[in-house]
Amino acid sequence: MIADGLVELRELGEFGLIARIKEKLPPQAQGVIKGIGDDGAICSLAKDKALVSTVDLLVEGIHFDLTYTSPYFLGRKSLAVNLSDLAAMGAKPLYALISIALPSCLKVEFVDEFISGFLEVAKENEVSLIGGDTSASPDKLFISVTLLGEGAKEQLVCRQGALVGDDIYITGTLGDSLWGMKILQQKKGRPFSAAESFLVSRHLNPTARVKEGQIIAQRNLAHAMIDVSDGLLSDLGHICTESKVGATIWAEEIPLSSSLKRLAQEKGEAPWKMALMGGEDYELLFTAPAEKAAEIRELNKEWDCGVTKIGQIEILAHGLVVKNAHGVIDIHQCRGYDHFAKSFLPPLEPSQR
């Protein structure tokens, strides 16, 4: 994806690269007192708001593959994954910092496209890029993004807080990103069908549910919330662990895109398996008391992504159980991703009933 005959970073130099990036920035937002160009950025927060911060590291060969990921989409996704973290807490994103380690043989135009995608998502979400750092890397590309936001302390939602009897909800559809990644890995350079293109887009260009997360927080709808980055079972497992509860998921209620269902049917696979184990969908998973059900049903009508009830919070001894019309499903083959294990992390053990 890097064309020959273009300018390499070693020719431009670090400070030339920083100046090139700075030229692409829009005018400073109102809250930015001092942005790129000093030893530190100076920003303001709204009165009576709490600072919410998150950081994500993306490593070439682990999180992305440049044989099928364009620099433009990589830039978009680099910010989107952080936005999703703040969305899961109901916070308003404000300021981003990006640190990049790049091979010196990389083309400057690659960075141009990357920054273009990054800044596009920043504009869509009213986020200001206020600083960062650059470094040379021996061979791989490393991207670290820190995102700062704010929210009213009494409204922010954490993983801890789910209560027995809560309903479990998910925005959007699940399993799309994992299937999209598999398509990219298996069909490099080949044309995609409409269904495949949709799933590939869901993997390369995810949408963080920022506005939805803020509405959930502002209306005090959720007891606990998380974004689905590692897979439904793993991320629900995090809520269960932090809240010291168990859960039941109804497999038939998990929302699936028509594209995923179509391709799964063609291949004779159960689509709910992708939904259980698939990460990087960046949908919001949250628990809410039963008395909020009517209000959440109205949001399902209003939101393009929709929101679906998929289960219920149980007592801790119940464990994490997935059921379908035939009974309890063996979920040990539907595990979420764990970086250091280089495999899928098992969820909470199901109860033996």
- The arithmetic mean of pLDDT across residues 281-300, rounded, is 98
Question: Residue 56: which domain range?
Answer: 9-151
Residue 80 lies in a domain: yes
My answer on whether 122 and 191 are in the same domain is: no
Of 118, 151, 184, the domain-final residue = 151
Provide the sign of the torsion angle of the four alpha carbons 69, 211, 347, 180, taken in this order: negative
Would you give the distance in Å from CA 18 to the centre of its chain?
27
Residue 103 lies in a domain: yes
Question: In one letter, which amino acid is 322?
Answer: V
My answer on whether 119 and 267 are in the same domain is: no
Q: Which two tokens stand for residue 232?
A: 């439904």
Question: In one letter, which amino acid is 111?
Answer: V
My answer on whether 254 and 301 are in the same domain is: yes
Residue 327 lies in a domain: yes
My answer on whether 94 and 218 are in the same domain is: no
Query: Measured at the alpha carbon of residue 318, what is the angle toward residues 157 and 321, in degrees to the nearest 5?
Result: 80
**Whole-number pLDDT of residue 13:** 63
Do you know the residue count of the chain? 353
Of 151, 179, 205, the domain-final residue = 151
Model confidence pLDDT, tens digit, residues 200-230: 999 999 999 999 999 999 999 999 999 999 9
DSSP calls for 102-137:
E-TTSBHHHHHHHHHHHHHHHHHTT-EEEEEEEEE-
Residue 105 lies in a domain: yes
My answer on whether 177 and 320 are in the same domain is: yes
Residue 301 lies in a domain: yes
Contact 320/236 with Cβ under 8 angstroms? yes
Model confidence pLDDT, tens digit, residues 119-151: 999 999 999 999 998 888 999 999 999 999 999
With cut-offs at 50, 70 and 90, classify the pLDDT of residue 12: low
Of 120, 151, 182, the domain-final residue = 151
Question: CA dihedral defined by 123, 125, 126, 130, rounded to 10 degrees?
Answer: -80
Task: Report the CATH number that the domain containing residue 190 is assigned in CATH.
Answer: 3.90.650.10
Question: In one letter, which amino acid is 325?
Answer: A
**Whole-number pLDDT of residue 10:** 66
Residue 225 lies in a domain: yes
Measured distance CA(327)–CA(149) in Å, rounded: 43
My answer on whether 186 and 314 are in the same domain is: yes
My answer on whether 112 and 232 are in the same domain is: no
Helix axes 210-218, 71-87, angle to 10 degrees: 10
Q: Which is higher by pLDDT, 273 or 86? A: 86
Q: Which pTM was predicted? A: 0.87
My answer on whether 108 and 248 are in the same domain is: no
My answer on whether 190 and 280 are in the same domain is: yes
DSSP calls for 156-187:
---STT--TT-EEEEES-SSHHHHHHHHHHHS
My answer on whether 56 and 187 are in the same domain is: no
Task: Report the CATH number that the domain containing residue 100 is assigned in CATH.
Answer: 3.30.1330.10
Domains in the chain, number: 2
**Whole-number pLDDT of residue 336:** 54
Residue 341 has pLDDT above 60, yes or no: no
Residue 296 lies in a domain: yes
Model confidence pLDDT, tens digit, residues 55-93: 999 999 989 999 999 999 999 999 999 999 999 999 999
My answer on whether 97 and 205 are in the same domain is: no
Residue 240 lies in a domain: yes
**Whole-number pLDDT of residue 338:** 52
My answer on whether 114 and 195 are in the same domain is: no
Measured distance CA(281)–CA(230) in Å, rounded: 9
Q: Which two tokens stand for residue 112?
A: 């141009």
